Structure 1
Amino acid sequence: MFASARRARYTGRVHRRAVISWVGLCLLLLLPACAPRAVRPSVPSVPAVPAVPGGAEDLARRYLDAWARNDVAAQRRVLVDAPADFDAQHARWRQDLGVVASRFERLELESEDGATAVMKFHGVHTLRGLGEWEVESRLRFERRGQRWSLRWTPEVLHPALRSGDRFGRTRSWGPRAALLDAKGHPLTVPGEVIRVGVLPGRVKDRAAVASVLQAQLGVDPVKVLAALNVASIQPEQFVAFIDVRPERYQQVRSALAPVPGIFFRKKLARLTPAEGFAAHTLGRVGEVTAEALQVLGPLYQAGDVVGLSGLERAQERTLAGRPSGEVRLLRRSGGSELLQRFDGEPGRDVRTTLRMDVQAAAEAALMDVTRPAALVAVDTATGEVLAVASRPLGEAPHRALSGRYPPGSTFKVVTAEAVLANGLKPDSRVDCPLEVTAGRQRFRNFESEVLGTTTLRRAFALSCNTTFIQLAAKLDRRALEDAARRFGFGVGYDVGLPSPGAAFPEPRDDAERAADAMGQGRVLVTPLHMATVVAAASSGVWHAPRLLADAEAGPEARLSPGTPEPLRDLMRAVVKEGTAKSAASVAGLMGKTGTAEFGLTVPPETHAWFIGVRGGMGFAVLVEGGGVGGRVAVPLAVRFLQALDAATVLSFKDDAS
């Protein structure tokens, strides 16, 4: 007699009583107070049942609310004659399926005969590592006196479940897709590494083990000794310390193998073209961490191999795709029944803007640099990142993209653009005294240089601080800030990996404006951004950098009309006759050196910079605390370009053959 009742809507996210028509509600709960409205003359025999909280719909709502909260005790309190193993059955259901959350979206009366009733509900269960599983199931009620009671049966969990049955599941990932270079060549391929570790029970001299691992592979001896001192470690338990590529293993094996306790294991891995190749940018893969699980969400589970850093992490969902799997009902009598199939998706390759030859040259340039350093190259016409390398390889900060430093005299490219836009020419006469005063603060030239009256070209080539402080003071108060904006300072952009860009805060006074003019003060940049600055000085247009080939182009800005050609003139002078003349033999090279002060020591420490452009490629070289840009960064720039030229010649020969 309840066949005509309207559906009751239920949602587990907003715990409210479902809206039911007066007719449906009175019929469902059998409320006598509603009888004058709800009972039609054609059905005068409807029994009168008191309006009590034990109504069927109310019981159903309370049960499903408790289920959505994973409050098994509250679920059990709603039931009549709950099975003795009710808690255990629910725990087994949750464990077997990997349920991490449940919600219930609708509730409707399916049947009622006066003594019993059945309500159908729609459940959505999130299964860890697989996704959402939707189930239409039932709650069964029986009337006891004047009340409805909810009796639990296995079909509450699934309509096909019977006593003694269990649930099972399978899950698997497809092959991980590759990171590609700009031409579509793979930068990551499956391969094999050698895991170096120890068997504690075979170690005779712990200090000797720690010493040789440090000497041959750079493993922290404190880490080795701490691992070997763990009380719970088993004598024959392999304790891994580092994975090395086969070529590296061959180099160190003769030194490691004779030491008692050191052993090796082969392991499948994801390899780049060479050890350390674009290591910070491409990133690494490994077993998912607890922190990564929180970020990646319920599609992932413990034990999954995921991207842990770099583009492997940033592009995880694209590279990994989706896992496939099944939910099955395992019959007590044997056999199984497929309940749900989750169709996985293959990972998709991600094409970067990196060029294999340019990246290899960047790695070669920084190969034996012991200080923290970075080298970035970009396409002057597009802002696409051609190469990006950071050192040391074993440290997490990606200095090339995320490190922020004062740019020092490399910022004079920006100041020069501002004064050129104001009417000066490379041959304009300017003064370069030993020192000047701005805002009651004295500023001196580096190494006490004095040029006297000279040209803008020569002052730029020899990086005269006092010249540019004086010139900036004559500009409109916002002219320098506007020029910085044209070079992307203060502009947000998405590279594809975290990178904060460049900052040029509004100067607080004349002294800070003077410091800003020579790249000190509060001006901060990343090596990546300075590569875009020198690229813009050459091309006339600043392009936001990007690492992903299929990403939309970011913001851009055009330099002041008429300034690119004289800027190129100034940057050529730096190489031909100025602070970078040690690179004069490199054909077509233009650029600017920088020696940026930092810290509180007297005299202050300095970062070594060189930003350069050649043949449609802008690049920046930074050595943290390296000293003088012309003496430290310029030689690395030369090495970079020579390695690139050698690779180009080799490639040409290969193509010709």
Structure 2
Amino acid sequence: MTGKARRTVAAALALAAMTPMLSGCLEEPSAHEAVRDFLVGWQTGDYAEAASRTDGNEKVVRKALEDAKLQLDAASFRFDLTGIRGTGDQVEADFRAEVDLGENNPLWEYDGKLPLHLVDGSWKVRWSPSVLHPQLHEGQRFAVDVIPQERQPILDRHRDPLQQQATLYVASVVPAALKNAEEVCERLSKITGFPQDRLLSRIRSARPNIEVPLVTFGRAKFAQLGDQITAIPGVEIARQPQSLAPDSPTQIVGSVTAVTPELVQQLGGPQRAGDTVGRTGLQKAYQEHLTGSTETRVVTVDLKDPTKVTELKKWNPDRATSPVLTTLDRTEQKTADAALSGGTPGMLVAVQASTGEVLAVSTTKEYNQETDAFDGKFPAGSTFSIMSVEALIKAQMDPKQKLACPPDRSVGGARFHQAAPPVGETPSLQANFASGCVTALASLARRIGGSELKASATQFGIGAPWTLPLKTFSGSMKPLSTDAATARAIAGQNVLVSPLSMALVAGAVASGTWRPPVLVTEPKTLDPSVEAAPPKPLNPVPLDAKTVETLRIFMRSGVVAGSARAAAAPGGSVYGITAVATRDRKPLSWFVGWQGDVAVAVLAASPDPTAGAAIAGRFFRGPHPTL
């Protein structure tokens, strides 16, 4: 520390001494100076200066002060001199200590005393271990116990875990059994990349007879480094089973990893050996809830009998761990995964129509459950006709009105093409809806304005500001200022949606009310690190009952007589429509519909317009506890 810094600290201590607690002892400035210099030396790490102000062996005092910092793994000490009292050649000073326990987080505060007496005309601190702390005695040392809480699971709606058992490998040492702790930490640091000084500080601050975990490995990393680790004398490996491997839906549940040097640098904070960190999905979003915080104790340990321990201070975890209860259903998830096993790339999102709760999220390897099924931005195609027809029915259009479905049509300069248009009698609005005739539906652009179409989409949650713990996309529409833009919207060409947003649209028609999505029911809030302030929850939006009834008839005809026939399944009526769309010049096949209380959106990467409906059919024919 520089001379200026030392003078600043000394001045602070001197000012702290100028309190009403002081007695006539201030007439003895040398006593005050002895106290000040001892505390300043201790606080700044100038242990030689501090030791010179005591009556003890300077080498012994220096070592005791150095050891105190190591044994507490302290980042810093800070002292306030709160009073000096006494008469004659016997004086006692009171001080307040604040010890920053570094990566162990808590600030330890305690009151101490410094007895002083005159030695050959000079004031000296009467040395004993109790100078460091009133309860520290000869033959004892400080130690810090750190007890982490076990990581909690992520659960489905029935409280079944959505993780499988995985094995972590923990490298530990017993400090008293090590012949050379510095060498052990040097070798371990070279192999693992963890800083040598941090490994060593954990050993020095632990109780000598207690096993100290230093580094944790996953299976792959241990297979790579295990032989080198076990070759270090004194290092023992313990297998630690934990429910960490994500079960389906794996990308929604998320991955967990043991703390690595790279993660410590990336995340900061008090990550320790044995800690686990959520890297993706809900494991990342709810890291603080799942892991809570550690219990920390400062103790004294008898050097001759380390089992004799006295607790000086204890901090209970300030955040209790708690499982994350989701709305997912393991049976529905297995059914969804099986439905997508036919070889066609795609994804499926299932929600409970009456609540908006997400039941299953499944994708093939080509897609990601979070970034595509929840947050993907895909053209809606003629599935947007659900919103279009809702607006048309409100505008008093007759569902039985005949509308030609030609192969090609131009509306306001925008051109539309319908592959394989029907032959024979001109179809009705209902029949065109059921078959997804783009040219017929686009022709209705002049029957409804862009504002009416936008209002209908808003009722169905398109663009709604919902918030889930994971990334999601509720949809977006381009401005509808021309007939061409409105026609493109009716055809879903300038409307982007996610499979999640369309599953909620299907749920709205099925239940008569649009509801925002729900994925997690407990805890009620996200981690502060993820969400600074909870958003205002969205309210459900009741739909016009008469309009909904007409839409249900339309969507039932999509399965009975329209292009969604492949979605039909026994055990209850299936409702739904199909649509085709293109993204990045690749054809997509939609199905949006429901059976019972389970609403789904399927998006398949296929030129076959019925591919989405076929996947939905396999899903509806599977087991469904929620139906």
Matched, 1:341 2:308: no
Deviates more, 1:135-144 or 1:632-641: 135-144
Aligned to 1:259: none
Matched, 1:527 2:507: no
Aligned to 2:415: 443
Pairs aligned (count): 535
Aligned to 2:289: 318
Q: What displacement does 1:570 show? A: 1.4
Aligned to 1:367: 341
Aligned to 2:229: none
Map 1:438-517; keep pairs closer than 5 Å: 438=411, 440=413, 442-447=414-419, 449=421, 453-507=426-480, 510-517=483-490
Counterparts of 1:87 and 1:472, CA distance in 2 = 88
Aligned to 1:247: none
Matched, 1:634 2:613: yes
Aligned to 2:564: 580
Aligned to 2:324: 350
Please tell me whether the aligned partners of residues 179 and 188 of structure 1 are also in contact (alpha carbons under 8 angstroms).
Answer: yes
Aligned to 1:597: 582
Aligned to 1:108: 82
* Alignment-mate amino acid for residue 118 of structure 1: A
Q: What displacement does 1:545 show? A: 1.0
Q: What displacement does 1:407 show? A: 2.2
Matched, 1:547 2:519: yes
Aligned to 2:531: none
Counterparts of 2:480 and 2:115, CA distance in 1 = 74
Counterparts of 1:101 and 1:626, CA distance in 2 = 64
* Alignment-mate amino acid for residue 595 of structure 1: V
Please tell me whether the aligned partners of residues 75 and 102 of structure 2 are also in contact (alpha carbons under 8 angstroms).
Answer: yes
Counterparts of 2:51 and 2:221, CA distance in 1 = 59
Counterparts of 2:155 and 2:523, CA distance in 1 = 14
CA RMSD of superposed structures (Å):
4.9
Q: What displacement does 1:173 show? A: 3.8
Q: What displacement does 1:185 show? A: 3.4
Q: Please give the per-residue CA displacement for 1:102-152, whole angstroms capped at 9, x wherever unaligned.
A: 788x763354669967342252635535745443346789999xxx99999
5+ long unaligned stretches in structure 1? 1-15, 31-42, 195-230, 245-264, 650-657
Secondary structure in structure 2 of the residue aligned to 1:478: helix
> Residue 48 and residue 306 in structure 1: after superposition, are their counterparts in 2 closer, same or farther (change >3 A)?
closer
Q: Please give the per-residue CA displacement for 1:183-206, whole angstroms capped at 9, x wherever unaligned.
A: 333444647799xxxxxxxxxxxx
Counterparts of 2:222 and 2:554, CA distance in 1 = 48
Aligned to 2:591: 610
Deviates more, 1:491-500 or 1:152-161: 152-161
Please tell me whether the aligned partners of residues 359 and 387 of structure 1 are also in contact (alpha carbons under 8 angstroms).
Answer: yes
Secondary structure in structure 2 of the residue aligned to 1:530: helix
Secondary structure in structure 2 of the residue aligned to 1:579: coil
Aligned to 1:278: 249
Q: What displacement does 1:555 show? A: 3.0
5+ long unaligned stretches in structure 2? 1-10, 170-189, 193-216, 224-237, 525-536
Map 1:44-123; keep pairs closer than 5 Å: 72=44, 81=52, 93=68, 96-99=71-74, 108-109=82-83, 111=85, 118-123=93-98
Aligned to 1:125: 100
Please tell me whether the aligned partners of residues 257 and 277 of structure 2 are also in contact (alpha carbons under 8 angstroms).
Answer: yes
Counterparts of 1:417 and 1:19, CA distance in 2 = 79
Q: What displacement does 1:618 show? A: 0.6
Counterparts of 1:555 and 1:648, CA distance in 2 = 23
> Residue 339 and residue 349 in structure 1: after superposition, are their counterparts in 2 closer, same or farther (change >3 A)?
same
> Residue 329 and residue 636 in structure 1: after superposition, are their counterparts in 2 closer, same or farther (change >3 A)?
same
Q: Please give the per-residue CA displacement for 1:421-446, whole angstroms capped at 9, x wherever unaligned.
A: 22224213334344444554x32124
Secondary structure in structure 2 of the residue aligned to 1:430: coil
Map 1:207-356; keep pairs closer than 5 Å: 241=220, 268-270=241-243, 276-289=247-260, 298=269, 300-331=271-302, 335=306, 336-343=309-316, 347-356=321-330
Q: What displacement does 1:565 show? A: 0.8
What TM-score do the two structures reach when normalised by structure 1? 0.67
* Alignment-mate amino acid for residue 617 of structure 1: V
Aligned to 1:261: none
Please tell me whether the aligned partners of residues 77 and 99 of structure 2 are also in contact (alpha carbons under 8 angstroms).
Answer: yes
Counterparts of 1:155 and 1:446, CA distance in 2 = 90
Q: Please give the per-residue CA displacement for 1:335-392, whole angstroms capped at 9, x wherever unaligned.
A: 4432233445874333321223211101211235463x32111111111111122332
Aligned to 1:427: 400
Aligned to 1:185: 160
Please tell me whether the aligned partners of residues 580 and 634 of structure 1 are also in contact (alpha carbons under 8 angstroms).
Answer: yes
Counterparts of 2:118 and 2:426, CA distance in 1 = 105
Secondary structure in structure 2 of the residue aligned to 1:447: coil
> Residue 47 and residue 95 in structure 1: after superposition, are their counterparts in 2 closer, same or farther (change >3 A)?
closer
Secondary structure in structure 2 of the residue aligned to 1:318: helix
Task: State the percentage of identical aligned residues.
Answer: 27
Secondary structure in structure 1 of the residue aligned to 2:521: coil
